[in-house]
């Protein structure tokens, strides 16, 4: 074949994919209308590995609008088009997403190598990719459905569990690939092929990670945090001396893995909290600058400053406790992990809050005849009594309020 070796994906792999029906529909479209459709990239990689992927990237040679309308007729979905790139996204209601690119047919003559064939932008698309295992395409056309198009030896690398760049300048052209590579290495349990690893290390040593635009860097950091094992990815980047190029720290904090797993378990969606943990041992000024450069919300900046304030605090005053009480539980958990001397005390505050302490609520105090600011003050006072272990039950609390009433009436 002019397109390299031919390999057919097994039917079981298609059958066990959550994309089965959609792939089938796309195949039918290619036979009913005069179009070609290919799946490309991470989708093909994951399908071959027997893993599921929420994204299906396809290249359509022919009427893209037809494909979109046929899909949305059958499956509930939302469409976003990017006319400037000739691409569209179909968001299916079960988190799945189809990215569609149109392909103009272009004619290429490669010196010496392949015969003159129609080269669709499929070919161009694959040529521009990061690793060989991501440069595979799969035909969804009726006549050769499931045939893998492997121009760069991606299939072999997939069986060898290796990450190999398509050319020597890959990491230099796009340094985010360094981060993508490490994410894939950890997620798939693959290794970098020897030469690729050398190129990767050189690109890091030569500071190419500095060239990533701030906005993209932020996206990449969030992608790392959404990996199944973000701690491992970050550890690996630390080991490769890559951390200081992307974060305001050279090293991860002490006991990072354990702390981050706790945060992820309790607050899986709060990625900014995870970031604060990662940068918790940064120099205060450097950390602030980094958060500002990457345009994190002001709130995150304040939380970082608070974290640094409590980091080396030796004892918690009553005033501290009262102000900590107003913080959300996620932040309390983070502070309990980053404050070296008073972590346990902060955790105690969080646990008491979760227990519903104080048991008397604002409305109870209103019913008892209080109004205005005093209510908040009394609730905090009651909380403090719990914190110091001076009260245990709602009855204890009522007793204290009664004593308070008596003392003010005197």
Distance CA 303, CA 301 (A): 5
Could you say which DSSP state residue 179 is in?
H
Q: Is 189 exposed, middle or buried (0-12, 13-18, 19+ CB in 10 A)?
A: exposed
Site for ligand CTP (CB under 6 A): which residue of 96, 119, 164, 177?
177
DSSP of 257-320: HHHHHHHHHH-TT-HHHHHHHHTTTS-HHHHHHHHHHTT--HHHHHHHHHHHHHHT-----HHH
Q: In whole angstroms, how close is the CB of 40 to ligand CTP at the nearest point?
A: 8
Q: In whole angstroms, how close is the CB of 114 to ligand CTP at the nearest point?
A: 21
Q: In whole angstroms, how close is the CB of 124 to ligand CTP at the nearest point?
A: 12
With contacts defined by CB under 6 A, name the span among 79-87, 172-180, 349-357, 383-391 that binds ligand CTP.
Answer: 172-180
Residue 153 in the binding site for ligand CTP (CB under 6 A)? no
Distance CA 280, CA 257 (A): 13
**What would you measure as the largest C-alpha separation in the chain, in angstroms?**
103
- Per the CB < 8 A criterion, the answer to whether 83 and 97 are in contact is no
Pick 129 or 348: Cβ nearer ligand CTP: 129
Q: In whole angstroms, how close is the CB of 176 to ligand CTP at the nearest point?
A: 5
Site for ligand CTP (CB under 6 A): which residue of 63, 89, 174, 311?
174
Pick 82 or 355: Cβ nearer ligand CTP: 82
With contacts defined by CB under 6 A, name the span among 170-178, 266-274, 299-307, 378-386 that binds ligand CTP.
Answer: 170-178
DSSP of 61-85: ES-HHHHHHHHHHHS-EEEEEEGGG
Pick 139 or 336: Cβ nearer ligand CTP: 139
Q: In whole angstroms, how close is the CB of 237 to ligand CTP at the nearest point?
A: 16
Residue 164 in the binding site for ligand CTP (CB under 6 A)? no
Spatial CA neighbour of 357 closest among 408, 401, 391: 391
Pick 196 or 338: Cβ nearer ligand CTP: 196
**Residues 6+ away with beta carbon under 8 Å from 41:** 57, 129, 134, 135, 136
Residue 129 in the binding site for ligand CTP (CB under 6 A)? yes
**Element containing residue 22 per DSSP (H, E):** helix 20-32
Report CA 211 to chain centroid distance, whole Å: 21
With contacts defined by CB under 6 A, name the span among 101-109, 129-137, 243-251, 268-276 that binds ligand CTP.
Answer: 129-137
Site for ligand CTP (CB under 6 A): which residue of 130, 147, 162, 397?
130
Residue 176 in the binding site for ligand CTP (CB under 6 A)? yes
**Residues 6+ away with beta carbon under 8 Å from 172:** 203, 208
Pick 139 or 303: Cβ nearer ligand CTP: 139
Residue 89 in the binding site for ligand CTP (CB under 6 A)? no
Pick 42 or 358: Cβ nearer ligand CTP: 42
Residue 41 in the binding site for ligand CTP (CB under 6 A)? yes
Site for ligand CTP (CB under 6 A): which residue of 25, 55, 63, 398?
55
**Element containing residue 37 per DSSP (H, E):** strand 36-40
Give the nearest residue (CB) to ligand CTP.
42
* Apex 129 CA angle, 135 and 62, nearest 5: 70
**Residues 6+ away with beta carbon under 8 Å from 253:** 259, 277, 278, 280, 281, 338
Site for ligand CTP (CB under 6 A): which residue of 120, 132, 134, 338?
134
Residue 96 in the binding site for ligand CTP (CB under 6 A)? no
- What residue ranges bind ligand CTP (CB under 6 A)? 41-42, 53, 55, 129-130, 134, 174, 176-177, 180
């Amino acid at each position: 074949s002019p397109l390299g070796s031919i390999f057919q994906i097994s039917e079981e792999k298609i059958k066990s994919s959550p994309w089965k029906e959609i792939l089938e529909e796309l195949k039918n479209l290619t036979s009913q209308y005069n179009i070609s459709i290919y799946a490309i990239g991470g989708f093909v990689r994951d399908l071959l590995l027997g893993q599921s992927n929420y994204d299906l990237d396809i290249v359509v040679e022919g009427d893209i609008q037809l494909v979109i309308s046929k899909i949305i007729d059958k499956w509930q979905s939302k469409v976003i088009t990017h006319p400037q790139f000739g691409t569209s996204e179909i968001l299916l209601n079960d988190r799945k997403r189809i990215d569609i690119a149109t392909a103009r047919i272009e004619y290429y003559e490669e010196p010496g190598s392949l015969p003159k064939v129609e080269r669709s932008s499929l070919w161009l698309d694959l040529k521009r990719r990061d690793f060989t295992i991501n440069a595979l395409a799969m035909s969804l056309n009726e006549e050769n459905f499931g045939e893998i198009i492997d121009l760069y030896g991606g299939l072999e690398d997939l069986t060898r569990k290796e990450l190999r760049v398509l050319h020597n300048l890959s990491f230099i052209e796009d340094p985010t690939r360094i981060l993508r590579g490490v994410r894939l290495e950890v997620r798939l349990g693959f290794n970098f092929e020897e030469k690729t690893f050398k190129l990767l290390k050189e690109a890091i040593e030569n500071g190419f990670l500095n060239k990533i635009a701030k906005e993209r860097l932020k996206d990449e950091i969030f992608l790392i945090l959404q990996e199944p094992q973000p701690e491992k990815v970050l550890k690996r980047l630390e080991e490769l001396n890559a951390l200081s190029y992307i974060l305001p720290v050279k090293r991860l904090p002490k006991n990072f893995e354990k702390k981050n797993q706790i945060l992820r378990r309790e607050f899986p969606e709060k990625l900014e909290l995870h970031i604060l943990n990662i940068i918790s041992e940064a120099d205060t000024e450097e950390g602030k600058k980094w958060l500002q450069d990457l345009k994190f919300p002001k709130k995150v900046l304040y939380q970082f400053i608070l974290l640094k304030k409590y980091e080396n605090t030796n004892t918690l005053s009553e005033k501290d406790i009262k102000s900590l009480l107003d913080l959300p539980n996620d932040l309390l958990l983070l502070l309990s992990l980053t404050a070296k001397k008073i972590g346990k005390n902060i955790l105690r505050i969080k646990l008491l809050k979760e227990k519903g302490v104080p048991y008397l609520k604002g409305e109870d105090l209103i019913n008892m005849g209080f109004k205005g600011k005093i209510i908040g003050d009394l609730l905090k006072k009651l909380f403090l009594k719990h914190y110091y272990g001076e009260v245990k039950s709602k009855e204890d609390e009522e007793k204290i309020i009664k004593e308070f009433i008596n003392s003010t009436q005197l």
